[in-house]
Amino acid sequence: MGCEAGEGPHPAARQGPRGHPPPLRGWRDWPEPTKQPLADVSLFTAERKGDEPGLLEAAAVLGMRLILVPHSELQAAAPRCETHSERVQVLLGLPSLAECAALAGAGPGSRLILKRISEGGASCAVALPAEARP
């Protein structure tokens, strides 16, 4: 997950219908392994984003751990990214912070099931670990 510096409450912190995950575009089409309790998943971002209020609030509201990923691990995941942000490339040397963080957090062999989506200064991507493959 990524956000612009100093962003307020993270859009991901909004609850979806009946307590489901936030209504991100396409979430109903995610493969079944992702339809699990939020306690079984975590938010991942760059170490340098660990004090961003919006990310901290999103993690708290969603009841998820916010895990800070070292830059070297984000760089290692970069070749598997599917989208490219010129801004993030200039600032961080990565094609997409959200995708790099999701892939690095999900571990070696992980795959994106939701490419980066961005809205209101926040970006999100979802990855599954290799062992979650059918």
pLDDT digits (tens, 9 = 90+) for 48-64: 998 899 889 988 888 88
| Mean pLDDT across the chain | 78
In this structure, the strands spanning 65-69 and 42-46 are parallel
Q: Is the pLDDT of residue 126 over 80?
A: yes
Q: Is residue 75 part of a domain?
A: yes
Q: Is residue 124 part of a domain?
A: yes
Q: What percent of the chain has pLDDT over 90?
A: 47
Q: Answer for the pair 1, 50: CB distance below 8 angstroms, yes or no.
A: no
What distance in Å separates the CA atoms of residue 19 and residue 37, rounded to the nearest whole number?
11
Q: Is residue 121 part of a domain?
A: yes
Q: Is residue 4 part of a domain?
A: no
pLDDT digits (tens, 9 = 90+) for 72-93: 999 999 999 999 999 999 999 9
Q: Is residue 6 part of a domain?
A: no
pLDDT of residue 114: 93
What distance in Å separates the CA atoms of residue 26 and residue 23, rounded to the nearest whole number?
8
Residues 6+ apart with CB under 8 A from 131: none
Q: What is the pTM of this model?
A: 0.73
Burial class (CB in 10 A: 0-12, 13-18, 19+), 83: middle
| CATH number reported for the structural domain that contains residue 81 in this entry | 3.30.420.180
Q: What SS3 string covers 37-62?
A: CHHHCEEEEEHHHCCCHHHHHHHHHH
The count of structural domains within the chain is 1
109: left (phi over 0), alpha (psi -120 to 50) or beta: left
101: containing domain: 22-132
pLDDT of residue 133: 61
Q: Is residue 53 part of a domain?
A: yes
pLDDT of residue 31: 47
Mean pLDDT of 32-54: 74
pLDDT of residue 104: 95
